[in-house]
Structure 1
Amino acid sequence: MSLTGIFPALITPYDADGAVSPAINRRLVSTLNAEGADGYFVSGSSAECYLLDTRERMEILEATVEAAEGRPVIFHVAATDHRSTLEHARRAADAGASAVCANIPTFFTYSDQSLAAYYRDIREHTELPLLAYYIPSQTGRLLTADFFLDLAADGTLQGMKYTSSDLGILSRIRASRPDSFTILAGSDDTLLGALAHGANGGIGSSYNLICGVYAGIYRAFGAGDLEEARRLQSVSIAVLEEMGGWEFISFLKSVLRSRGLDTGQARTPMSPIPSELDDQLAGKLAAKTELEPYLISPV
């Protein structure tokens, strides 16, 4: 199955009691299907992955696969303990995932050799394609193009989620692996630039709100309509500028709630946005007239 195009990095919906809600998740996915999603990224940063246990992560994966209507689903498997990471990798295929992805372990500092061994260990526990998740702004760990290319050469990695504004590394990886390595851009504000450097598509958090914008960027770029692609990237940046003043998951949930899709509050220790501010925040976005046609319309 091809991992190309636009993959919303799904938030995790909760019910009124704070339990994960597969039903609300299915509604979110059905809405994003209609707004141009080509696939889904489950249990990543936007999903509060490190605040979910294995049962919750598997429930959301299964609900996403059910609602995706055949679209590929990438399952982020990394956990705070390595045994859980491997368990997620082992169970992903049976739950219907199309590929798995893993961030590097955080908190401790690991050598490149240790991190390579980490990915090789995950590789041994799944038959699915394995993507690295590169997000140095969160891990504090810079890795080189050669690190990923070596793991691609020995068959450990089949691709990566590239969440960095340094497009030089992405460009070098693509030049060395022109056809056989999937690169999905993870920085929403530089999707167009990443596509120009050879990315196969994008994964992003604000896709939950304006999936049609990113689908439009991807399709306009593919059609050679750079003027339209640039216009839509500027629309995305306008949303990201508003989001920058808040904890981003709480922002996403607030706007979704005001648009008619209540996904609950983000889990502690993230700060919720008071419900009385929901409409005010959504109103600020709607006041940007270029945004209104693209904001999510829940089914």
Structure 2
Amino acid sequence: MKINNLIAATYAPMHQDGSLNTGVIKAYGEFLVKNKVAGIFMNGSTGDFVSLSTQERKQITQAWSDNKSSDLYLIDHVGDPSLEVSKDLATFAADKVDAIAVLAPYYFKLNSIEKLVRYCKEVAACAPNLPFYYYHIPVLSGANLNMLEFLKAASKEIPNLEGIKFTNNNLIDYLHCKNFEGGKYNILFGFDEIFLSSLPLGADGWVGSTYNHLAPLYYKIKALFEEGKMAEAAALQTKAIRFVEILDGYGGFNGVAKGFMKTLGINCGPSRFPHTTLSDDAYTEIVADLDSIGLLEQLSN
């Protein structure tokens, strides 16, 4: 099944003491569905998976599964530097979510397509009835490999290969992957700041953190593009970029954006080190900054 439209990379909700607060997840899912988000990508970079224990990641998977809605497609990221941990997480997720994904090990980095396919094949085999996605994010994983070559090799080795979460700004490689075998694979675009640039290339599914906050804005960009109103679409894309820049200026985007969810009515709590947790007063300043550039009316609600 090809996933279309926006998929939110979700946060790991926490209590003030830093422990998981999975009780928020039901309301979180309802909020995303209300804003026409089609799916979620849990336990990923936005979800602070590297700061969570294996057991905590399983708790998040279980909580989303327990609150599953037919309106929200669940992708669980199960990647880990340890192949054995990844396989354990994939096995756990096998009967709880709609698909799994894995990024490359990021400490001892993979330097060949052959190694990457082997890694992915072993993880995918632990949930053989679920669609499998490779999570391509070379800026963090260090696996700066050609994804067209990956598809050529992996398509022969991984029966449940569904596609790639493509978080890279190499649009040439993206386009080749999108067109591979007549568009057979679901290549989800994962670079929010150049959402508009993906549209002429045929992108129809996107995964990103700002789809938590700005889903209505991105759907407007898509509609304007389809109407041929490129200047207006570009102006909205610029606002989306400014959203990232403004929040990043308060100590780092990931933690600040997680805290901003409280402003939208979903309290995801604090962030774990090394991300920033701000005071409520700081968010009052951020809201004023966003208002000054006309962004408040574009926020999810």
Query: Normalising by the residue count of structure 1, what TM-score does the alignment of the two structures yield?
Result: 0.90
Within the alignment, does 1:161 sit opposite 2:149 as a pair?
no
Change (3 A) 1:62 1:196: farther
| Partner AA of 1:72 in structure 2 | Y
CA shift digits 1:143-195 (9 cap, x unpaired): 11212332124445320000111101011112223331001111101112223
CA shift digits 1:214-239 (9 cap, x unpaired): 23334555x45453543432331221
Partner of 1:240: 244
- Cα pair 1:182 1:199 within 8 Å, conserved: no
Within the alignment, does 1:149 sit opposite 2:185 as a pair?
no
Q: Distance in 2 between matches of 1:19 and 1:136?
A: 30
Partner of 2:72: 71
Q: Distance in 2 between matches of 1:160 and 1:240?
A: 24
Partner of 2:5: 5
Unmatched tracts of structure 2, length 5 or more: none
Question: Cα offset for 1:50?
Answer: 1.3
Partner of 1:119: 120
Partner of 1:31: 31
Partner of 1:94: 95
Query: Normalising by the residue count of structure 2, what TM-score does the alignment of the two structures yield?
Result: 0.90
Partner of 2:293: 288
Q: Distance in 2 between matches of 1:236 and 1:249?
A: 15
| Partner AA of 2:248 in structure 1 | G
Give the 3-state SS of the residue equivalent to 2:133 in structure 1.
strand
Give the 3-state SS of the residue equivalent to 1:45 in structure 2.
coil
- Cα pair 1:5 1:218 within 8 Å, conserved: no
| Partner AA of 2:81 in structure 1 | T
Superposition map of 1:122-133 within 5 A: 122-126=123-127, 127-133=129-135
**Percent of aligned positions with the same letter in both sequences?**
25
Change (3 A) 1:164 1:11: same
- Cα pair 2:111 2:143 within 8 Å, conserved: no
Unmatched tracts of structure 1, length 5 or more: none
Report the number of matched residues.
294
| Partner AA of 1:280 in structure 2 | E
- Cα pair 1:39 1:72 within 8 Å, conserved: yes
Q: Distance in 1 between matches of 2:64 and 2:224?
A: 27
Of 167, 174, 183 in structure 1, the residue corresponding to residue 178 of structure 2 is 174
Question: Cα offset for 1:142?
Answer: 1.2
Give the 3-state SS of the residue equivalent to 1:180 in structure 2.
coil
Within the alignment, does 1:183 sit opposite 2:184 as a pair?
no
Superposition map of 1:98-113 within 5 A: 98-112=98-112, 113=114
Q: Distance in 1 between matches of 2:299 and 2:71?
A: 24
Partner of 1:56: 56
| Partner AA of 1:132 in structure 2 | Y
Q: Which region of structure 1 is more displaced relative to structure 2, 59-68 or 204-213?
A: 59-68
CA shift digits 1:127-156 (9 cap, x unpaired): 211111111111223111212332124445
Give the 3-state SS of the residue equivalent to 1:79 in structure 2.
coil
| Partner AA of 1:107 in structure 2 | Y
| Partner AA of 2:279 in structure 1 | P
Q: Distance in 1 between matches of 2:221 and 2:158?
A: 31
> RMSD between aligned alpha carbons?
2.0
Of 250, 270, 288 in structure 2, the residue corresponding to residue 265 of structure 1 is 270
Partner of 2:254: 249
Question: Cα offset for 1:67?
Answer: 4.8
Question: Cα offset for 1:107?
Answer: 1.4
- Cα pair 2:87 2:126 within 8 Å, conserved: yes
